[in-house]
Amino acid sequence: MKLGNSAIKKHHPKKNWMQEHVNDHYVQKANAEGWRSRAVFKLSEIDTRDKLLRPGMTVVDLGSAPGSWCQYAAKRIQPGGRLIALDILEMDPIPGVEFIQGDFRDDAVLRELEARIAGRAIDLVLSDMAPNISGIAMADQARATHLAELALDFARGHLKPGGDMLIKVFQGSGFTELREAVKRDFEVIHMRKPAASRDRSPEVFLLARKKRQRTV
């Protein structure tokens, strides 16, 4: 049996993804409203539901580029708030955001962060970090879990007692262990899947509230 031309056309995953991205409702909405990426709607939905951000807070955004979470959070914590963003990549300036380019695991970067905070306690740690996808599921899951663990370690060392953390995680190998680790450090744990998260994506957002007081 002969196949028509339409049946033997090759698929181009990258081209198909780009077309889907351009036609995406949240991409179009972000462009129309001046947000840097569609990710802003994930944070705004969680904030609306859980009342995460409020005026006067000191917030640290890990892996902040291109900056849509910063755009949103910087407005929500005024008046009196401080938002310090960190990323290895460059990020164009955003009003009300203090940006540090570098790896937050480096001592020099942490010292700069601590200098910027100037003794103020951190109320909230945000992380929308995700690895560059290789297409190898096990490797991608391991990298994503590692990034979430790094964010948790940062929160353990710098978030004030009673503070909150919102981090991107991926359901799969290591997810249960990560969630249990978070439970040891926070009193309340929620899993959130915002409408802007694509259905096929394994991403969820782990909202950890009321960091426990460390005992000596």
* pLDDT for the residue numbered 5: 42
Instruction: Say whether 50 counts as a known binding-site residue.
Output: no
Q: What is the value of pTM for the model shown? A: 0.87
Catalytic positions: 168
Cα separation of 165 and 159, whole Å?
Answer: 8
- Helix (H) / strand (E) element for 164: namely strand 159-170
- What is the SS3 assignment for 2? coil
The full set of domain ranges for the chain reads: 37-211
Burial 76-115 (b: 16+ CB within 10 A, else e): bbeeebbbbbbbeeebeebeebbbbeeebeeeebbebbee
Instruction: Say whether 69 counts as a known binding-site residue.
Output: yes
* pLDDT for the residue numbered 164: 98
Cα separation of 119 and 135, whole Å?
Answer: 43
* pLDDT for the residue numbered 1: 38
- Sorted by sequence, the CB contacts under 8 Å of residue 128 that are 6+ apart come out as 39, 42, 43, 61, 63, 64, 69, 168
* Structure tokens, 23: 């036609």
Task: Work out the mean pLDDT of the chain and round it to a whole number.
Answer: 88
Query: What are the pLDDT digits (tens) for 21-50?
Result: 557 899 999 999 999 999 999 999 999 999
Query: What are the pLDDT digits (tens) for 71-115?
Result: 999 999 999 999 999 999 999 999 999 999 999 889 999 899 889
Instruction: Say whether 106 counts as a known binding-site residue.
Output: no
Superfamily of domain 37-211 in the CATH hierarchy: Vaccinia Virus protein VP39 (3.40.50.150)
* pLDDT for the residue numbered 9: 40
Alpha helix (H) residue ranges in 25-173 = 25-33, 40-50, 68-76, 107-117, 137-158
- Sorted by sequence, the CB contacts under 8 Å of residue 167 that are 6+ apart come out as 125, 126, 127, 129, 148, 151, 152, 205, 206, 208
Interhelix angle 13-23/25-33, nearest 10 degrees:
50
The backbone torsions φ and ψ at residue 78, rounded to the nearest 5 degrees and listed phi first, read: -95, 150
- Sorted by sequence, the CB contacts under 8 Å of residue 72 that are 6+ apart come out as 35, 40, 43, 44, 47
